[in-house]
């Protein structure tokens, strides 16, 4: 069990003295906000609203293809290989193309994308323990900065829907930075707008590539929120936790 004010042993067997952090860079999607869970609800609502059952005898085909496509596209987007507009269009063109007799036109795909984003952004669901963690961190006096690759208008709607907006001192989005996590440009922008200092800043996130590797390359301490502990961190991190509650034992 992790304890405050003691040495923390990581899974690599190394001990790290507790370091004083003034600023926390915190990922939003699937770290605090239950993006996957909320999107899954929205996806089912989308299927019903657009009456996709007339083209898909098995709805699971549409859902499965959407998730495979979405994961691949967001990975490419984070690496800067595709644009936002391409992601929005293709994440529905590909799964809709599996509908028997369905013509996945650009207009129809964009309509589906707009409706989906509207449905998603109004969902309030949080990752278990997120509200308790944010209350704890606020009471402890940390400066908190949301670091996200999500789309500007969507992220602000999500923040309002889930009630976390006022916890953050700074909202740092990739569209404002002109680059996505894990790029150096993104983190340089984050330091500029937050006035945080690298030596006293901790990055918290669930995506090892965009959150943790990006932060490590930028010289930050890292806390990997591993939601799938059967797949441990592939390389050393300062902290690795499997629940948000454990972060309260570290900070």
From CA 93, how far away is CA 105, in angstroms rounded?
A: 8
Buried b or exposed e, range 24-56, using 16+ CB within 10 angstroms: bbbbbbbbbbbbeebbbebbeebbeebebeebb
Structure tokens at 15: 């001990």
In the predicted model, is pLDDT for residue 133 greater than 70?
A: yes
Domain edges within the chain: 8-33+127-250, 36-121
In the predicted model, is pLDDT for residue 11 greater than 50?
A: no
> Would you say 98 and 61 are in contact if contact means Cβ atoms under 8 Å apart?
yes
Tell me yes or no: is domain 8-33+127-250 CATH 3.40.50.1000. yes
Tell me yes or no: is domain 36-121 CATH 1.10.150.240. yes
pLDDT score of 18:
54
CA–CA distances in Å: residue 194 to residues 11, 102, 165, 223: 31, 47, 16, 19
Assign 98 to helix, strand or coil: coil
pLDDT score of 19:
52
At 44-66, the pLDDT tens digits run 999 999 999 999 999 999 999 99
Structure tokens at 131: 């509200």
φ, ψ at 121 (rounded to 5°) = -70, -15
- Prediction pTM value: 0.86
In the predicted model, is pLDDT for residue 236 greater than 60?
A: yes
Q: Which residue has the higher pLDDT, 1 or 44?
A: 44
* Rounded mean pLDDT, 123-151: 96
> Would you say 214 and 78 are in contact if contact means Cβ atoms under 8 Å apart?
no
* Rounded mean pLDDT, 133-145: 97
């Amino acid at each position: 069990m992790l304890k405050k004010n003691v040495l923390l042993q990581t899974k690599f067997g190394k001990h790290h003295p507790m370091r004083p952090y003034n600023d926390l860079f915190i990922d939003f999607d699937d770290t605090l906000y239950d993006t996957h869970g909320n999107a899954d609800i929205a996806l089912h609502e989308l299927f019903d609203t657009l009456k996709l059952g007339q083209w898909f005898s098995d709805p699971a085909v549409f859902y499965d293809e959407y998730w495979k496509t979405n994961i691949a596209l967001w990975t490419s987007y984070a690496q800067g290989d595709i644009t936002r507009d391409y992601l929005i269009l293709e994440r529905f063109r590909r799964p809709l193309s599996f509908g028997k007799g369905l013509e996945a036109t650009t207009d129809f795909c964009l309509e589906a994308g707009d409706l989906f984003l509207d449905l998603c952004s109004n969902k309030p669901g949080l990752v278990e323990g997120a509200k308790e963690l944010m209350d704890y961190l606020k009471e402890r006096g940390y400066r908190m900065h949301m670091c996200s690759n999500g789309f500007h208008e969507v992220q602000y709607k999500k923040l309002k829907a889930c009630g976390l907006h006022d916890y953050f001192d700074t909202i740092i989005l990739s569209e404002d930075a002109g680059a996505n996590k894990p790029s150096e440009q993104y983190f340089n922008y984050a330091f500029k707008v937050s006035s945080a200092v690298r030596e006293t800043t901790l990055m918290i996130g669930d995506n090892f590539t965009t959150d943790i590797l990006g932060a490590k390359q930028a010289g930050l301490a890292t806390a990997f929120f591993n939601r799938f502990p059967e797949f441990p961190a592939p390389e050393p991190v300062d902290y690795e936790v499997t629940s948000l509650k454990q972060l309260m034992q570290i900070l």
